[in-house]
């Protein structure tokens, strides 16, 4: 799977992704669908997997809506559904969208395998499918995501750097994401690639549904099994779970918290980094990912080629050579809050440096 993923960092820099599709004028086909090369009146079905992780409602959805509007001169409509972590719900959401005759689907699957049948039903109904962020199985037409194995490597490397000599003595806990998410598998294998042989892994969990409360329970179990003084660091696959883990560490009465990793550059995660409670996150710029999805979706709905957008081909367990756009993520620590999320306009300094974090912000020169 993902035989070509490793090349992504070298191949593409975020700024190099130029999204070039321009909307064109013209009339619709008789059935109301857009004809080839006539950009407008497109109905894009957008299906996101959950709403506990902040990114989906705060970034992915509005960014995709904005891009579709821009590409269709305001005539493209996005029909949205969030599956709230339920694979069966997402399957029926796809069926509803097929019934409602969307022109194209953008799917971020709750469960990459369980969605395959719905992807096939969409294809059979003549609706192209773009897999968003997670590589859905079934006959997808295109895919966009980050270089997810590399995200795991970035997390693992940052944790080793933070541990320094402590890597030899203590143990770490690994909190991976949901087994239904192929990304979680890639984050995990990237992290293991870097960490194995360099540090003892005392306990490791695949966290059910990526839920912060499940990560909290797992961490509490690891603390009692290993002993709080023996844990020198925690690999957390994302920021939501890092929040649950840090709560468990504090509840165990640790005065100095071990380094904890994360991903998503959620506002709460960035604030914990500023305050020194979380060591790092992976900043994944969602704007280029959303732009790639929108551009491919609008082009496919119009029967146009997407060759000019893609930067590599990716294999899924069911589909070989899926035209894809993969984007690199970068480590975000106290040292580069300004040059990443602030300079990119993701958060203002005021949003990060609320009263609670003002002193910590001043200490790192964030103003």
User: Which residues ranging from 198 to 227 are in contact with ligand BGC (CB under 6 A)?
Assistant: 210
Interface with ligand BGC (CB under 6 A), residue from 264, 289, 295, 304: 264
The contact mask relative to ligand BGC for 111-140 (x = CB under 6 A, - = no) is: ----------------------xx------
How far apart, in whole angstroms, are the C-alpha atoms of residue 278 and residue 328? Answer: 22
How far apart, in whole angstroms, are the C-alpha atoms of residue 284 and residue 237? Answer: 13
User: Which residues ranging from 272 to 331 are in contact with ligand BGC (CB under 6 A)?
Assistant: none
Hey, what are 365's tokens? 């020169």
Query: Residue 21 — left, alpha, or beta (φ > 0 → left; ψ -120 to 50 → alpha)?
Result: beta
> 192 or 284, CB closer to ligand BGC?
284
Which residues neighbour 78 within 8 Å (Cβ) at sequence distance 6 or greater? 44, 45, 46, 64, 65, 68
- Asked whether the beta carbons of 89 and 50 are under 8 A apart, the reply is no
The contact mask relative to ligand BGC for 44-73 (x = CB under 6 A, - = no) is: ------x--x-x------------------
> 261 or 302, CB closer to ligand BGC?
261
> 70 or 131, CB closer to ligand BGC?
131
Minimal distance, residue 362 CB to ligand BGC, in Å: 30
How far apart, in whole angstroms, are the C-alpha atoms of residue 205 and residue 219? Answer: 9
> 205 or 210, CB closer to ligand BGC?
210
Which residues neighbour 123 within 8 Å (Cβ) at sequence distance 6 or greater? 129, 138, 139
> 218 or 302, CB closer to ligand BGC?
218
Count, residues near ligand BGC per rule CB under 6 A? 12
Minimal distance, residue 74 CB to ligand BGC, in Å: 29
Residues forming a β-bridge with 105? 45, 129
How far apart, in whole angstroms, are the C-alpha atoms of residue 186 and residue 60? Answer: 21
Hey, what are 280's tokens? 């790092």
- What is the contact surface with ligand BGC in residues (CB under 6 A)? 50, 53, 55, 133-134, 177, 181, 183, 210, 238, 263-264
């Amino acid at each position: 799977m993902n035989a070509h993923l490793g090349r992504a960092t070298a191949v593409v820099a975020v700024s190099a992704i130029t999204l070039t599709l321009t909307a064109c004028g013209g009339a619709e086909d008789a059935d109301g669908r857009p004809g080839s090369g006539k950009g407008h009146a497109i109905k894009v079905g957008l299906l996101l997997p959950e709403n506990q992780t902040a990114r989906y409602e705060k970034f992915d959805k509005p960014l995709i809506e904005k891009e579709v509007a821009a590409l269709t001169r305001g005539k493209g409509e996005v029909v949205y559904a969030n599956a709230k972590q339920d694979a069966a719900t997402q399957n029926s959401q796809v069926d509803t969208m097929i019934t409602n005759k969307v022109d194209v689907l953008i799917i971020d699957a709750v469960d990459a395998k369980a969605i395959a049948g719905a992807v096939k039903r969409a294809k059979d109904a003549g609706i192209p499918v773009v897999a968003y962020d997670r590589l859905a199985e079934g006959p997808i037409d295109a895919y966009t995501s980050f270089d997810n194995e590399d995200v795991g490597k970035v997390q693992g490397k940052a944790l080793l750097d933070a541990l320094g000599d402590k890597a030899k003595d203590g143990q770490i806990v690994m909190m991976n994401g949901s087994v239904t998410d192929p990304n979680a598998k890639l984050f995990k294998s990237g992290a293991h690639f870097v960490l194995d042989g360099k540090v003892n892994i005392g306990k490791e969990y695949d966290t059910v549904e990526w839920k912060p409360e499940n990560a909290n329970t797992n961490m509490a179990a690891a603390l009692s099994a290993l002993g709080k003084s023996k844990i020198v660091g925690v690999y957390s696959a994302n920021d939501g779970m890092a929040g649950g883990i840090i709560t468990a560490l504090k509840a165990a009465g640790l005065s100095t918290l071990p380094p904890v990793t994360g991903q998503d550059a959620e506002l709460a995660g960035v604030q914990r980094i500023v305050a020194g409670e979380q060591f790092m996150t992976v900043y994944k710029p969602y704007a280029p990912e959303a732009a790639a999805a929108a551009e491919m979706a609008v082009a496919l709905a119009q029967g146009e080629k997407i060759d000019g957008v893609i930067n590599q081909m990716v294999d899924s367990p069911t589909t070989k050579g899926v035209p894809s756009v993969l984007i690199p993520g970068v480590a975000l620590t106290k040292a580069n809050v300004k040059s990443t999320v602030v300079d990119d306009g993701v958060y203002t300094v005021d949003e990060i440096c609320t009263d609670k974090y003002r002193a910590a912000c001043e200490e790192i020169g964030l103003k």
